[in-house]
Chain A
Amino acid sequence: MTRRKLIGDSLTFLTAGALALDIIFVIAVIVLIAAKGLGHFWQKDLIELKLNDGRVYLGEIWNRESNPDAGTRVRLKVGNRDVSGTDFIWVDERQVEVQTIPVNAVLVERSEWGNFYGYPVAIRHGDRILAEGSAAVMRRFGSVHAEKSRQLQRIHEIEKDEIGDVNFQIEKLRLTLRRVELGGGDSAARAELESQLDAQQYRYDRLVTKLESLNAEFESERLVLETADGIERAIVLGHVIRLVQPNVLSAVDAIGLYASRIGEFLTAESRESNTEGGVFPAIFGTVMMVFIMSIVVVPFGVLAAIYLREYAKEGLAVRVVRIAVNNLAGVPSIVFGVFGLGFFVYLMGGSIDRLFYPESLPNPTFGTGGILWASLTLALLTVPVVIVATEEGLAAVPQAARQGSRALGATRFETLWRVVVPAAMPGILTGLILAMARAAGEVAPLMIVGMVKLAPTLPVDGNFPFVHLERKFMHLGFHIFDVGFQSPNVEAVKPMVFATALVLILVVLATNLIAILLRNRLRRKYAASAV
C-alpha cells in the first residue's frame, strides 16, 4: 500500500467516524430523554418495608445506590407530604427486616399535596359511612368519583365560562364607562352604563352563591385512608384524581393506566405550580407562538430576499446588507429579547395603549409582554435564516426560465410572481423549517417579552375577539427550566422535566415534519431544484 492511499483511507475512516459519533450522540440524547420521560408514567409496584427499629414505609423504589461504608441503600418515594413532610426517604437495606408487596396498598393521585400511599379504610359522607373495608371502598369509589367529576366539570363551567364571561362584561362596561367619563360624556349614557353594570354585578353575586353551594356539595365525601404506620387521613374525594391498587393491576389495566397518564400529561393543565398534571398550556403556547412567528417571518423574509436578489443592483451596498443580515443570525438571542422589550413592548405596545386603550391605563394592555411581542421578537431573530434560504432558492431558478417568461410578454413582476417565486418555494420552505426549529427552541429572549411560568388563560378562548394576542403565555422550554430548577422538590419533578423535554422535541419534530412534507409535495410537483 502506498503512503498516499494510506492517508486517503485513514481520512475516510476519520470522516465516517466523526459522522458515526454525531449520530450516536443524537440517538443517545433522544433515547435517554425518551426512556427517562416515558418511564415516569409507568406504575411500579408499591413495596412495604419493615425496618428493625420498628419503622414501616410504603412506597415506590426510586433508585438504589451503595452506601459510603458498606451495603446498599434505596431511595423510596413515600409521598404523603401532608403527613410526613417529605416525599422521599433513604433506607439502609441492612436495616430491612421484612419486604412485602401488599395487595391492598393503594396509590392516590390528588390535586394537592402530591401522591398518597396507604390502605383504604372507608368512604364517608359527613358522618354517614358509604363503604367500609378495602374491597368495598374500591368497589364504591368508581361511581362516587364519576359523580364528583361531573360536579367538578359543572363548577369549572361556572368558574371559567359564566363567571369569566361576567367578569369580561363587567370589565368592558367599566372601561366604556371610564372612556365616557374621560370624554366628559353625558350623564344619560353614564346612567345607562351604570345600570348595566349593576345588572352584571347582580348576575355575578348569584353565580358566586351558586358556586359556594356546589363546592360544599363537591367536598362532602371523604376518602379515609391509613398510612403504613397506622395514621388515618380523610381526603376530600373530589380532590382525588386516581385511585389505583398498583400491586394487583392486570397487564391490560397497567397499560390503560399508562396511556391515560400520558393522555393527561398532554391534554391537562398543570397542578401544584407545574410539578404535577399536564403541559397542555405550554404546548399550546409554544405552537401558537411558532405559528404567529411563521406568519410574520415568511412575508418579511421573502420580500427582503426578493429585493436583494432580484431588484437591488449588485454592489457594495448590497454586499454590506448581506453581511449584516448574516451577522444578525449570530447575535445572542437575549439581545433580541432586550430589543423586543424596548421596541415592541415599551415603544409599540405603549403607543398602542395610549392610542386605543387609554381607559385601562395605567394598567397596560399591549404595553407589557405578550404572545404577539414574543412572536415578533422571534421573527426578528429568525428572519436572517429565511432571507438566506430564500435567496439561495431564487438563485437556483434558471435564468433561462425568466427569459422564457419575458419572451412570452410577461412583465418583470409577473415573471417573478408566477415563475420565480413558485420555483423558489422549496427554498423558502427550507428557510421556514430552520426558522421554526430555532424559534421553538428559544427560551432566553422570551422570558422578558411575555412568557410566564403560569398563565391563567390560554391566548385563545371563547370571549370576543377569541384570539388575545396581548396575553401572556406558557412555553415548553421555560416549563422545563421552571419545573426542573425552580421547584422545591427537585427529585420528584425530574421525570416531568424529561417528559416535557420529550414533548418539546416532538413538537419541534412535528412542525418540521409538516413543513418538510409540504416541501416534498411542492418539489414533486415542480421537480425543480434541490435547494
Chain B
Amino acid sequence: MNSKLERDPQLHNHRDLETVLEKPILAAESLSLWYGASQALKEISLSIPERRITALIGPSGCGKSTLLRCFNRLNDLVDGVRIEGDIRFHGSSIFDPEVDVNGLRRQIGMVFQKSNPFPKSIFENVAYGCRIHGMNRKRELEEVVERSLVRAGLWDEVKDRLHESALGMSGGQQQRLCIARAIAVEPEVILLDEPCSALDPIATAKIEELMQELKERYTLLIVTHNMQQAARASDYTAFMYLGERVEFGETGQLFVNPSEKQTEDYISGRFG
C-alpha cells in the first residue's frame, strides 16, 4: 500500500486531507434519505476533493448507490423519496429551487453498474448528450465524438464502425462507451456506480487505467464493493455501513491504518 503513495506524486503534494478538503467540489452535509418510511441514508457528511478519485465502499445495501444518485438528483425520479440535509456543488446547494436539474446532470455525469448504451449507433450514443444540450452542427459533433472516444480509450477499437449499433459491442467496450457518453458533455464530476462489477479482469483493468487518466480533468466518485479496486485505484475512500458514513480518509491511510473497528473488520474481510 505504501508503494502506491510513492507512485502517485500528485497525492504526495496533498497528503494532508484537511488541505485538500478546504474547497471540495461536492459536499454532502448531514444528508438523510428515506424511501417511503425506511431510512436509507443517515446524516451523511462527505466532501469530495476536486480532480481526485474518491471511492465509496461498504457492504451491499448500505446505501452507496443511493448516495451517489443524490449527487445528480437522480433520486428525484424515484417515487416517495424524501431528503433532508444538503449537498453543495461549488459551494451552492443543488436542492435550491433555482437550480436547473438538467443542467446539473450535465455537469455531474453518471456511469451505471450495468452498461446501458442506447439502442442507437456508437456515434449517436456519444453525440446524444450534446444534441440534447443544443449542439447540432455535424462537424462539431464529430469532433466531440472523436475526442470523447479517444479519452475513453475506445477510439482505435471503434473508429471504423461508428455507425454500427452500440449493442453489438463487448461488455467492457459498452461500459467505456458509457464513460465516453458521459464525458462528451464536458462534466466536472463523473459518478461511477460499480462500473466494473459485470466485467472480466482485463476489461476491469482497462477501466481502472482509464480512471487514472480521467482524473487529470474530472473529479471521479466511484462506488465499488471490490476493496482491491478501491485500494488500487482511488485517492480517497469512504466506508459506509447501514446508511452511515463510518470513516473517510486518504485511501492509503484508511486501508493500512483504519481508525474505526467496523472499517477494519470490513477491509480485513470479516464481514461484507
Taking beta carbons and an 8 Å cutoff, which residues of A are in contact with B? 397-398, 400-401, 403-411, 414, 418-419, 422-423, 524-529
Contact = CB atoms under 8 A, between A and B. Distances in A.
Contacts of B147: none
B120 A526 contact: yes
B272 interface: no
A408 B105 CA distance: 6
Q: How large is the interface on B (under 10, 10 to 19, 20 to 34, 35 or more residues)?
A: 20 to 34
Nearest to A522: B119
A87 B116 CA distance: 72
A529 B118 CA distance: 12
Given A411-B102, A525-B165, A526-B167, A403 B77 contact: yes
A409 B128 contact: no
Interface stretch (B42-50, B52-60, B150-158, B178-186): B178-186
A325 B189 CA distance: 47
B119 A403 contact: no
Interface string B65-104: 0000000101001000000000000000000000000111
A530 to B, nearest CB: 12
B252 interface: no
A192 to B, nearest CB: 53
A199 B74 CA distance: 75
B72 to A, nearest CB: 6
A406 B105 contact: yes
A388 to B, nearest CB: 21
Interface string B227-250: 000000000000000000000000
A404 B116 contact: yes
Contacts of B102: 409-411
A527 B168 contact: yes
Interface of B: 72, 74, 77, 102-106, 109-110, 112, 114, 116-121, 128-129, 131-133, 165, 167-168, 178, 181-182, 185
A437 B105 CA distance: 45
A407 B120 contact: no
Given A526-B165, A527-B165, A409 B185 contact: yes
B197 to A, nearest CB: 14
B114 A400 contact: yes
29 contacts: A398-B116, A400-B112, A400-B114, A400-B116, A401-B116, A401-B118, A403-B74, A404-B118, A404-B181, A405-B132, A406-B105, A407-B110, A408-B185, A409-B103, A409-B104, A409-B132, A409-B185, A410-B102, A410-B128, A410-B132, A418-B132, A419-B118, A419-B119, A419-B120, A526-B167, A527-B167, A527-B168, A528-B119, A529-B119
Given A403-B74, A407-B72, 6 more contacts: A400-B116, A403-B77, A403-B112, A410-B102, A418-B131, A423-B118
Contacts of B167: 526-528
A414 B131 CA distance: 10
A408 B182 contact: yes
Contacts of B106: 408-409
B20 to A, nearest CB: 27
B118 A525 contact: no
A397 B105 CA distance: 22
A529 B105 CA distance: 28
B119 A422 contact: yes
A405 B77 contact: no
A269 B45 CA distance: 83
A408 B128 contact: yes
**Residue from B72, B77, B114, B116 having most chain A Cβ neighbours under 10 A:** B116
A404 B167 CA distance: 14
Contacts of B103: 409
Given A403-B74, A408-B129, A409-B185, A526 B119 contact: yes
A293 B181 CA distance: 40
B173 to A, nearest CB: 14
B84 to A, nearest CB: 23
A423 B128 CA distance: 14
B105 A527 contact: no
A398 B112 CA distance: 13
Closest 10 CB pairs of A and B: A400-B116, A526-B119, A528-B119, A409-B106, A409-B105, A409-B102, A527-B165, A408-B129, A407-B110, A527-B167
